[in-house]
Amino acid sequence: MDVIPQFELHTHVEGALTPARLEALSGRHGRTVELGARQLRADRLFDFTDFHGFLRCYRDATAFLSTPLDYADVAHDLVAMLVADGVVHCEASVSYGVLLWRGINPEPIQAALWEVAQEARERHDMTLRFIPDAVRQFGVEPARRVLEAALRAGWQRGVVGFGIGGDEMSRPAAEFARVCEEAREAGLGVTIHAGEVGGAEQVRDAVSSCGATRIGHGIGAVLGPVGPDGARVEPAPAEVEATLALLRSRRVFIELCPGANRRLNLVPAGRTWPWGRFLEAGVPCALNTDDRGFFGLDLRGEYARAAAEGGFSPQTAQQCREAARRAAFAAPL
């Protein structure tokens, strides 16, 4: 059977870390892995039950990534996953914000990542590019330092975009408007995590204030924000329609991550996953894995699950892949 070419626009280099790689890194650095008894499962996947548990596990595990060699090893793991999955073009986020916060210069790490990307092109005919990511809760000036480091690395080392991740409820995206404008002026695409735990307000803010042309997750635009009790707060229908109209009019691409959202209980039990609302509204979108190593996901599996749940025909899947190809910050080779 021929492998259908896949396009992955929302996945994190650090998120490709697997328990096996983590054990190798712990040996390299002479440190004991302490993630908590419930965070490493018998099937060799990380274990967590909610969004905050995931963030704690992610923080503890990725602390073992500190050198160019560490990042190169994880990037090689990511490439192997992508090749097995039939991915021909991937734009992977790299958490420059966390690296700088830890006092680590991201430029040697980016150089190592670029070497892996060049090897992937030569061996597998696959395009791998990178999106340095700022951490929203760290504030505007740290985000500007992320952008400055990204621009120093530049397109010549595979940098094609600027992202903002982290806690979307910590501060409005509007605070980062000037930094995002500078990124766009420098020729970088802008993607912002919004609507993962936030709602339509956070999605609109990322688009209207920061000019984001891609939104990571985005489901809060339809489902509403996660409330204090962990349940989604149902949005007003008029707010949903206005947000979808904005996304459609600006051709903003939604980087959907259904498997990751379900793993973190961000979609209410028994609730149909809301990709249909985006598709019906004419908003470009496609499926992604988010953190392959942590969640044990692949794109073929995500599309297969979407088809099994109904409403996601082969034609719809192909429409999504084509939308991802058009939304890429760098043209696939």
> Using one digit for the tens of pLDDT, what is the confidence trace for 149-179?
999 999 999 999 999 999 999 999 999 999 9
The Cα angle at residue 208 between residues 194 and 158, in degrees rounded to 5:
65
- Residue 61 pLDDT exceeds 90: no
Predicted confidence band at 272 (pLDDT cuts at 50, 70, 90)?
confident
Sheet holding 87-94, edge to edge: 6-12, 87-94, 127-135, 161-165, 189-194, 214-217, 253-256, 285-287
The CATH T-level fold of domain 87-327 is: TIM Barrel (3.20.20)
Q: Which of 8, 162, 191, 6 is nearest to 91 (CA)?
A: 8
Residue 39 is predicted with a pLDDT of 47
Convert 222-261 to b/e letters by CB count within 10 Å (16 or more is b): bbbbbeeeeebeebeeeebeebbebbeeeebbbbbbbbbb
- Residue 96 pLDDT exceeds 80: yes
Predicted confidence band at 333 (pLDDT cuts at 50, 70, 90)?
low
Q: What is the largest CA-CA distance in the chain?
A: 56
pLDDT, tens digit (0-9, with 9 covering 90-100), for 28-60: 988 776 654 344 443 445 667 677 777 777 788
Please give the Cα distance from 261 to 300 (Å, whole number): 17
Boundaries of every domain in the chain: 87-327
pLDDT, tens digit (0-9, with 9 covering 90-100), for 102-146: 999 999 999 999 999 999 999 999 999 999 999 999 999 999 999
Please give the Cα distance from 150 to 26 (Å, whole number): 28
Residue 104 is predicted with a pLDDT of 96
Residue 2 is predicted with a pLDDT of 53
- Whole-number average pLDDT of the chain: 91
Chain-centroid distance of CA 30 in Å reads: 30
Residue 274 is predicted with a pLDDT of 86
pLDDT, tens digit (0-9, with 9 covering 90-100), for 172-201: 999 999 999 999 999 999 999 999 999 999
Residue 42 is predicted with a pLDDT of 38
